[in-house]
Amino acid sequence: MRLLVLGGTRFLSHSVAAEGVRRGFDVVCAARGESGRVPDGAQLVKVDRDADDGLDALTGDFDAVVDVARLSYSWVRRALDTLGGRAGHWTFVSSISAYADHRTGSDELLPPREVDDVQELYGNIKVASENAVLAARPDAFILRSGLITGPGDGSDRFGYWPARMARGGRVAVPEVDQQMSYVDTRDLAAWIVDAAVKGLKGTFDGNGPAVPLGELLRGIADAVGTDVELVPVPESVLVDQKIAPWSGPRSLPLWLPEDFKMMGARDPGPALAAGLNPMPLADAVAGALEHERSLGLDRERKAGLSPREETDLLAAL
């Protein structure tokens, strides 16, 4: 199989390319080559997706194309125009951020916006991109990913918790009534490559089964295996102490505000039936912690609490 990954130098696209190489496929990664290295055994073709002719270096036909374009409608449109007729199978990685209502978890989508590089319109751009893919390739596989963890994760969200548990001691955890799911990048990559091999088509939410957030955090602590005391912090205290939900500085990752309570609880049933096979939590935690240690457990984080911030929060109880 000749597999083209639009990307291939970091996180999910790197995992997809690595999975293709592992299976003995001819893997071509199309990227600038500035964000990292492609997996050993894959070929890098340097491209510029901002240029009208930026994909012209990609020659010949491909059995499958995987596009992980994150925040650019024009990238998606240009790839379809250039490669859509030369690919046996097409995968587009979208996001559950495409949904309009995370309070109830309905299937209503955001209005599409055909723009580039506007973070506040991330979900709208994904909807527009999905529409473009389906117009050109009605047989496409569209994967709306949930919270992705594992090697290469640059968000610091899921990884905050294994890293924090590894330090031991009293750990501030949000005391909230909320479900949360996750999926490891290696599991998504395996499913994406399986989809290419089998010709899977349709639109799926790409996340594992949801569990109560407290249960998930206890499971992470058990998997890490250090001596910790999980200290529940009521949501009212978190708000009073100006702790942010989900991500960013001075935050407790994976805690979701009321308007987003169902974002981590999308139904995984169709994806599981179609071949997504999530690894055990212990294995996902091990991969996340190994990645965290490679980055440095004491580094300045994009998400989570510093030791001093956590100490101050616990003192407020």
What residue spans define the domains of the chain?
Answer: 2-145, 154-181+211-261+279-315
The pLDDT of residue 35: 87
Q: What are phi and psi of 231, to 5 degrees?
A: -105, 110
% the chain with pLDDT above 70: 100
The pLDDT of residue 168: 97
Work out the angle at residue 158's Cα, subtended by the Cα atoms of residues 157 and 164, and round it to the nearest 5 degrees: 90
Residue-wise pLDDT tens digits, 192-217: 999 999 999 999 999 999 999 999 99
**What span, in angstroms and rounded, lies between the C-alpha atoms of 287 and 189?**
15
Architecture of the 2-145 domain: 3-Layer(aba) Sandwich (3.40)
Residue-wise pLDDT tens digits, 263-282: 999 999 999 999 999 999 99
Residue-wise pLDDT tens digits, 234-266: 999 999 999 999 999 999 999 999 999 999 999
